[in-house]
Structure 1
């Protein structure tokens, strides 16, 4: 492994950003808020199932969409509930770069709350052509979901994408997505953003490929990776969730090239609190949802 797990990967973020804090203590020190402002997605992942409900604790789910002009009010309300709120992120329920909503919300929040860390999570398809907007909006940390750097593998994971007004499928879709992801990671790193990779660990498809994803994305400028076990759903509902041995092997392979983040929680697109520790979403959104503080994703 590149560095001991007890050593912070990013001292300036350790204890401030739960998803970029490598140590367990740092991960549990500050709260984050996810704003569900992104209505659309531009790729079709085989494992994805977006939904609106109050009961599931997983990515791609929110109680409702909010408009960008609601963002400031919601952040202000969250700060009254969580004085240790340090991060505002946008991670769905669609892709934040597939519409203008996320960047509009970030610009508003950055102007009013400049001390908050702004974090964007994207599939990376629009990353190269929107990087200047991302920087201008005040975003400091970036997560890019990269599930394969081999087009044959990627085509099985996201068989279709929407690109420049037309649909691409199969290998053509995979090649375009991978090229844009790597170019976007390099552009983000060059502009000073801290880049994390999310990789969904999928049995029978990419479980032997995670080390290569880490190697290639590290060369592009990423600095940490989060290996997320598959939630069997959508077109991959027939596959099992990867077991503890498969998870350990994949993370060990990734650790040859990147620091590994291992405290991930299965966060909703409207989550609010400390991941895996506290959840004040019901109070924030007024949806009556019962808090469930132990929804581990890995």
Structure 2
């Protein structure tokens, strides 16, 4: 895959801290938390906490409007010029929020040299792919935890798609179909694609190598096997050890390049991967947790985009 990239794309990947292990020490990223709505309930996801001690996906201290996100970007890029990537990764799913595309438009207009990045569950990837391409997003991450519906149905409790709630195997089938279709579209369009896979002992740990083989077929650039953070419905599952995670990564490595330096960042993280400045700038108790939960509840009830 890398050999097929343009020289410009190779340069951008070399400066993307999530896609290049060397870049993590020199270049930073900025996550803009403009996307509170989500269309999937994953059994390992719990977004009700926010504190300086919480550093994980789905956590943010505030939800920004697109104009506030632009102002924040301008300030942070001025203070930290080593940041090369601006991404949207939540706290919900970016493709379930129209604010994502308005934010990208503003960032692209004002900072044309910045690499735009998005992290999504992929449910709406085929439906909103044209908008994503028009936004000139160059790097895409899809959380793909299974390609077998019988395994996927154990990981998600429900999805909302086209205004309807689905659960069980039907939900799993829709999600997997859309994820794979969207990934293929992205690769064909020249986007550089990363897969995030949450390693869940006893559920998908023996299956992840099959995901890697499938991603090899689709042309995905890199795969990130992430250890489960045991919370929500999966609070009683013991997370994988470092050795167990490494064994899965080693088994997948012949098929897809492995990312091994992920820190499972917050939705408002910025700076170097190993030095999240969003935590240093905040203190506990500043978050409007009720507001985030209300937004999430509204999204679940409506089953649509915000």
TM-score by length of 2: 0.87
1 or 2 for the larger relative contact order (CA 8 Å, sep ≥6)?
2
Matches of 1:74 and 1:246 in 2, distance apart? 39
Whether the 8 Å CA contact 2:32–2:267 is kept in 1: the answer is yes
Work out whether residues 182 and 217 of structure 1, in 8 Å CA contact, stay in contact via their aligned partners in 2. Answer: no
- Structure 1 residues 171-182: aligned runs within 5 Å: 171-182=169-180
Say which SS state the counterpart of residue 276 (structure 2) adopts: coil
1:41 aligns with 2:29: no
- Answer yes or no: is the 8 Å Cα contact 2:12–2:115 preserved in 1: no
Shift of 1:282: 5.4
Q: Contact 1:15/1:30 (CA < 8 Å) preserved in 2?
A: no
Give the unaligned 5+ runs of structure 1.
Answer: 4-9, 290-298
The answer for the alignment partner of 2:23 in structure 1 is 26
Q: Please state whether the residue corresponding to 1:256 is helix, strand or coil.
A: coil
* 1:142 match: secondary structure: strand
2:12 is aligned with 1:17: no
Q: CA RMSD of the aligned region, Å?
A: 1.7
What are the within-5 Å matches in structure 2 for residues 72-91 of structure 1? Answer: 72-91=70-89
**Displacement of 1:250 after TM fit?**
1.0
1:169 aligned to which of 162, 167, 170: 167
Q: Give the Å deviation of 1:52.
A: 5.2
Q: What are the residue-to-residue correspondences of 1:64-103 with 2, within 5 Å? A: 64-103=62-101
CA distance in structure 2 between the aligned counterparts of 1:158 and 1:28, rounded to whole angstroms: 35
> Contact 1:155–1:173 (CA<8 Å) still a contact in 2?
yes
Tell me the distance in 2 between the aligned counterparts of 1:218 and 1:43: 26
Contact persistence 1:15–1:29 (CA under 8 A): no
Report which of the two has the higher share of helix: 2
Question: After TM superposition, where is structure 1 displaced by more than 6 Å over at least 4 residues in a row?
Answer: none
Matched, 1:287 2:282: yes
What whole-Å deviation, never above 9, does each CA across 1:275-296 have from its counterpart, x for those lacking one?
Answer: 11x232257xx6346xxxxxxx
How far the C-alpha of 1:15 sits from its partner, in A, is: 3.9
Q: Distance in 2 between matches of 1:38 and 1:14?
A: 25
- In the alignment, is the contact (CA less than 8 A) between 1:211 and 1:256 conserved in 2? no
Deviations 1:111-162 (A, max 9, x none): 1101000000000000001111111112100000000000000000012100
**Preserved contact between residue 70 and residue 106 of structure 2 (Cα < 8 Å):** yes
| Structure 2 counterpart of 1:209 | 207
Following superposition, the deviation at residue 27 of structure 1 comes to: 2.0
Among candidates 153, 156, 159, match of residue 155 of structure 1:
153
Could you say if the C-alpha distance between residues 14 and 97 of structure 1 is closer, same or farther in structure 2, counting changes exceeding 3 Å?
closer
Aligned length: 277
Q: State the distance in 1 between where 2:70 and 2:40 align.
A: 29
- TM superposition shift of 1:214: 1.1
Aligned to 1:60: 58
Residue correspondence of structure 1 range 262-281 to structure 2 within 5 A: 262-276=260-274, 278-281=275-278
> In 1, Cα distance between the equivalents of 2:58 and 2:167?
22
1:184-203 alignment, distance < 5 Å: 184-203=182-201
Which runs of 5 or more residues in structure 2 are unaligned? 3-8, 285-306
State the TM-score, normalized to the length of structure 1: 0.89
Aligned to 2:216: 218
